Every structure is written in C-alpha cells, then in structure tokens.
Amino acid sequence: MRKVRVRFAPSPTGALHIGGVRTALYNYLFAKQNGGDMLLRIEDTDSTRFVPGAEEYILESLHWLGIGIDEGLRWNNGQIEQVGEHGPYRQSERRAIYNQYVKLLLDSGKAYIAFDTPEELEKKRAEIANFQYDAATRTQMVNSLTLSEDEVHTRLERGDQFVVRFKVEPNENVTVHDLIRGDVTINSSILDDKVLYKSADDLPTYHLANIVDDHLMEVSHVIRGEEWLPSAPLHVLLYRAFGWEDTMPEFAHLPLLLKPDGNGKLSKRDGDRLGFPVFPLEFHNQKDGTVSSGYRESGYFPEAVINFLALLGWHNTGDREMYTMDELIQQFSLDRVSKSGARFDYEKGKWFNHQYLQLRSNEELAQLFMPVLEAKLGSDSSISPWGDHSINSSLPKIISLVKDRANFVSELWEQANFFFVAPTEYDEKSLKKRWKEDSPKHMTELLELLESVDEKDWLTPEGKTAEEGVLNQLVMPWIEKKEYGVGIVMNAFRICLVGAARGPHIWSITDILGKEETLRRVRKALEVL
RNA sequence: GGUGCUAUCGUCUAGUGGCCUAGGACAACGGCCUCUCACGCCGUAAACCCCGGUUCGACUCCGGGUAGCACUACCA
C-alpha cells in the first residue's frame, strides 16, 4: 500500500469558492486520517484568467480554516512559503517539465500538432452542428496528421501558433473506478482530441498539467468536484499514454454544492442575491475592483464553517452533527459521501455558529467583542460611560447574560447595547404594551424604594441567586402589598433600564448597571414618558 | 442535441430486503418556562419521483420512464 498523498489544486482566478473549500477539507480529512500528505499546488495555466492576490487569498483562507498543508504552497505568518521535494508547485513555473512530456507524446504519436486558429474553429462550430475535433474530423483539419512534414516544419519555423492535441483512439470503452460512484464507463468516441498544450503562452492545459503533476508528485488519490467526472476517462487515457497506469491515482468525485433556491450550482451571485458569503474571507478583487464578503468577516468561527461544510455531502451513521476537526479526521470516510448534490442552507450554517459561540468561554468572547465595542463607543470604551467600574471586568458577565441569543459575536452588541448606552428613546411597541397609565406612579414609588437601598447591598451577593438578592427581597413584597402586579411593575422598570421589552433577567441588569445608573435611568424615563 | 452522474420531509440527511406506523437536525408552527425578548425543553406538521419486475416481503435489488445536475473551450 503506497503512502496516501492528496492534493488541492486551485486556480488563482479569484476568491476560493466555498465549494472549493469543501473539496480542500475532504482532501485534508482523508489525508490526515490515513497518515498521509496534503499538497497544495497552484494551477495557473490560464494566463488570461490570473487574478493578482488570489493565490495569497487561497492560502490564507485554508490557514484560517485550519486546513493544514504538508507540501507545496502554504501560508506562514503572512508569507507564502514553499515546502517539499516535488516543486515548483506553481504550474506556470513548470514549463520545462511539461514541454518534456508533450514531446514524449508527440514522439510516440499519441499526440499531434494542430494549427487551426481559434477563429477557424469557432467558424467550424457555427457551420457544423455539434462539431467535435476528433478521429472523425481531424483528417479535415490543419494539423500534423494532414500536413506534410515539410509544411509542419515551415509553419513552426515561421512561428505560427499551434496547439498540441491528444490523439484519442475512437470506439474504445474506458472505465474509471470512482471511490464514491463505482465504475463509470464511457466510449472514447464521445471524447474530443483535447488540447494539451498551447504555444501562445507556452503552457499546458489543465488535463496535461494535472496528469503530469499528479504522477510526478506521487499523488495517490484525486479527490475533486463532480464537474471533473466527464473528463476522468480522458485522464485515464492520458495515464495510459504515458505508461503510468500502474501508479495512476484513485479517483473520487464529490457532489456539487447547489443553490439554496432554484436550479443549478451555487455561485457567487447567489450569495449577493440572498445575502450570505460564498467565500471564506473577504476578497478584494484587484482585477475588477469588486469586494466580496467572507465568512470570517461575517463573524463565523472557522470550526463552525468546517463543521457545516463537512456535513454538506458527508454524514456519519447516526444522528450526530457536531464534530471537531479531529473528530472529523477520525470519522470521515469517502464511502459515506453522498452521490447527489447538496443544496446550500445558510440558516443551518448560522445554527452551527450559534452552537460554537455557546462553546466559547465568556472571557474569550469578551476579547472578541472588544473591537466591536470600541467601534461603537470609541477608543476609551474601557471606562463605562456611567460609572467608575471598568467594562473590561464586567464584560464576561454581560456576555454570559446575552450570548445564548446571539449567532455571532457582532450580534452581541444588539443584545447588550443597553448595558453600555442608556436608552435615549423607548421602543414604541413595548411602550404600548407594557407602559401603563399607572407606570409613572409605580416607578416613582419604586425609585424611592430603591434609593433606600445601601450602595453596598445593591449587588446580588456572590453565590446567591438574583431572587435571594436584597433588591428582589425588597421589591417583591412591596409589589405584593400594593397589589400592583409583578408583570406590570417589572416590565415598566425594564423599559426604563433597557428602552424596550427585552433582555436578560432584571436583577442581572441592575447588578451590572449599579445603583447610581439604575436610578438615573428610572428618573430619565419618568421625565421623558 | 450528445454523454455521464443523481433521485427519502421545504433543506441537510439516517436507512444497505423484514428492526420503518421511515429516525435526527435546520427552518416553520404550537405549548411549557417566565417580569420581557431570547435560549432551553416538550410537541405538531412535513418525505421514500413514477411504472413495472424479482421476492413470502421492498425506501432498500433489477429494468424502463421522468426529473434534476454536470460536462460537451487553445477555462479550470
């Protein structure tokens, strides 16, 4: 059994699509589970589609997600580093290698040179329905099969542009064994004579580069998207043409990620249209100037993205849904990958983030929340606007009160803003429902009552519940005695402190605000309302 | 059009011939908890694409339809 070596081989044509992330993840899980290597190779054989910054973006994304690279290109402290013995790992830097193998195919008659220009081919396709450059048509085209040797030489000498095409022998059944789908057989006649090399940029196409690199890099398993399944037989033919069939990698073609609604595969436009990111990180496209949102900037935890993506196309036996990366590495298996495409369900993604947010400690969330707070309150947000105690010390407490209602760190602000900023206006719906005719009277009396509480008795004592605190012990009997109704009084009180009918338990709020600020807010409400 | 792949609740899926009156999760809806909003808990609604065949017995196996998806470039 040879060593497991898999590769993720993205094209630097833009941001790394979330489907690509999943492909990378499955490769990584498979490699790690089998004690193998995960390689990263950049497939930049289309010079016209190259987008500056895309390579850095891809590597940084994988790093953020915790998808480690053993060999090839990887992110290291903001720098790209190259590791491994099989480099270079950028296809544009491997020209000499490909040229050598193109020549091999040419010399053995398994490929030929074609001079047809793109324009001529386009014309041909327009004229003849379903035109395909293959065994049936290549004899009518301009290539080294139809031209004399001298003519070919002349053309090459004078620098005519050409391509090298793979000579596909017709009417042969080719079977690809797929680890997910089983045997897939096609007839070679439906294949066209694929372009393997283009002289215009002295670069191979995907098909040739992919086979040569996977062979040279000793890749044992090719795990890639389903869109490659139709060309897999061609790849098998190429391995045969090179005489590499005995070390040919095993194939596994992953189901596609589909649009949340409608038909077709998930695209960047769906994210824009439906309001969710389709890229791991925010991407500033230097080529067209567009900016695309990312999961990281939207407040996702990498482990949530990983867990969510892992389950989009793979599912263990049983009902479990929460997995750490290490657990995924242990549990993952290709034969439990679904065969059918998975619709992308953004709501489920949010749920995963909610789960992981609950798992984080209050202290850690406080750290993560600080930048949000500073953005809202200004840089001196380490001092609370109303008092003498620092936000830093009460922040974990505040977070513990509101985190179960947040999906993202950024949502903590919506849930907890009233702790930091006294209400200046009061929610109309809440007022209508909860601010009664008698409320001003109730609040005036409550104010008196609370003023009588000694500052040192204000806070709920350590280890006691809010119900056992001095405030509750004082207020509840008072309400009962006056027969005002707990709901009536408490909701009005809540509106004074929060500005709306929402938020955590009222005595938790008074604990954080302290006596002075609590009373100030009640007085303010009495003035305004 | 051609070729290939696929097909269980709205969505992700469990299910590998009897454990299925089809299980879980997201979303939806209802209830409980409760000073509010959430969370949580409990519950409701919701699916085996169709037609044949094999079998004592099919969601599961086979065939044929149908539908969806992918590919069909000097893009990957």
- What is the secondary structure of A425-438 as a DSSP string? S--HHHHHHH--TT
Q: Are A298 and A289 in contact (CB under 8 A)?
A: no
**Separation between the CA of A341 and the C1’ of B22 (whole angstroms):** 22
List CB contacts of A515: < 8 A, sequence separation 6 or more. Answer: A450, A453, A455, A458
Q: Which protein residue has its CA closest to C1' of B26?
A: A348
Q: Is the CB of A376 under 7 A from strand B?
A: no
Nucleotide closest in space to A114 (CA vs C1'): B74
* pLDDT given for residue A386 in this prediction: 47
Q: Which two tokens stand for residue A368?
A: 């993560």
Strand pairing partners for A223? Answer: A252
* Preceding peptide of A10 cis, ω within 30°: no
**Would you say how long chain A is, in residues?**
529
Phi-psi region of A149 (alpha: psi -120 to 50; beta: other; left: phi over 0): alpha
Local structure of A198: helix, strand or coil: strand
Q: At what angle do helices A470-482 and A506-528 cross, to 10 degrees?
A: 60
**Separation between the CA of A408 and the C1’ of B4 (whole angstroms):** 42
Fold of A428-528: Arc Repressor Mutant, subunit A (1.10.10)
Q: Is the CB of A11 under 7 A from strand B?
A: yes
Assess whether A268 carries a catalytic annotation: yes
Pick the CATH number of A94-254 from 3.90.950.10, 3.90.800.10, 3.40.50.720, 3.30.360.10: 3.90.800.10
Q: Which two tokens stand for residue A469?
A: 């605190």
For the beta carbon of residue A335, count every other beta carbon within 10 angstroms: 7
Q: Which two tokens stand for residue A436?
A: 């009664």
**CATH number, domain A5-75+256-343:** 3.40.50.620
- Rounded CA-CA distance A61/A278 in Å is 12
Q: At what angle do helices A486-498 and A470-482 cross, to 10 degrees?
A: 130
Same topology, domains A5-75+256-343 and A428-528? Answer is: no
Classify burial at A512, counting beta carbons within 10 Å of its beta carbon; exposed 0-12, middle 13-18, buried 19 or more: buried
Residue A216: C-alpha distances to residues A152, A309, A320 (Å): 31, 31, 40
Q: Are A444 and A492 in contact (CB under 8 A)?
A: no
Q: What is the mean pLDDT of each run of 10 residues along chain A (529 residues)?
A: 94 95 98 97 93 96 97 96 95 96 96 95 90 94 94 94 96 94 93 96 95 98 96 97 96 95 88 92 92 94 97 93 96 95 94 96 92 77 50 83 93 91 88 88 91 85 79 89 89 94 92 89 88
- Rounded CA-CA distance A310/A332 in Å is 9
Nucleotide closest in space to A264 (CA vs C1'): B69
Amino acid at A223: I
* pLDDT given for residue A463 in this prediction: 74
For the beta carbon of residue A43, count every other beta carbon within 10 angstroms: 18
Q: Which two tokens stand for residue A382?
A: 């380490």
DSSP state of A229: G
Chain A residues 451-490 within 7 Å (CB) of strand B: 466, 486-487, 490
Nucleotide closest in space to A467 (CA vs C1'): B35
**Separation between the CA of A330 and the C1’ of B54 (whole angstroms):** 39
Q: Is the CB of A265 under 7 A from strand B?
A: yes
Chain A residues 14-73 within 7 Å (CB) of strand B: 43, 45-46, 49
Chain A residues 191-210 within 7 Å (CB) of strand B: 192, 195, 198-200, 203, 205-207
- Rounded CA-CA distance A295/A356 in Å is 14
Given A268, A397, A436, A524, which residue is catalytic? A268
Transcribe A77-98 into DSSP letters: TTEEEEESSS---BGGG-HHHH
Local structure of A265: helix, strand or coil: strand
Chain A residues 230-259 within 7 Å (CB) of strand B: 230-231, 255-256, 258
pTM of the model: 0.93
What residue ranges in A297-402 does DSSP mark as E strands?
A: 342-343
**Residue appearing with tokens 């389709």:** A278
* Pick from A394, A434, A422, A416: nearest CA to A520: A422
Nucleotides of chain B in contact with protein CB (under 7 A) are: 1-8, 10-15, 23-27, 35-40, 68-76
Q: Which helix (H) or strand (E) holds A26?
A: helix A18-33
Strands A203-204 and A195-198: antiparallel
* pLDDT given for residue A264 in this prediction: 87
- Rounded CA-CA distance A259/A222 in Å is 25
Q: How far apart are the first and last CA of chain A?
A: 79
Pick the CATH number of A360-414 from 2.60.40, 1.10.3470, 1.20.5, 1.10.8: 1.10.8
Domain locations along chain A = 5-75+256-343, 94-254, 360-414, 428-528
Transcribe A164-177 into DSSP letters: EEE-PPSS-EEEEE
Q: Which protein residue has its CA closest to C1' of B75?
A: A46
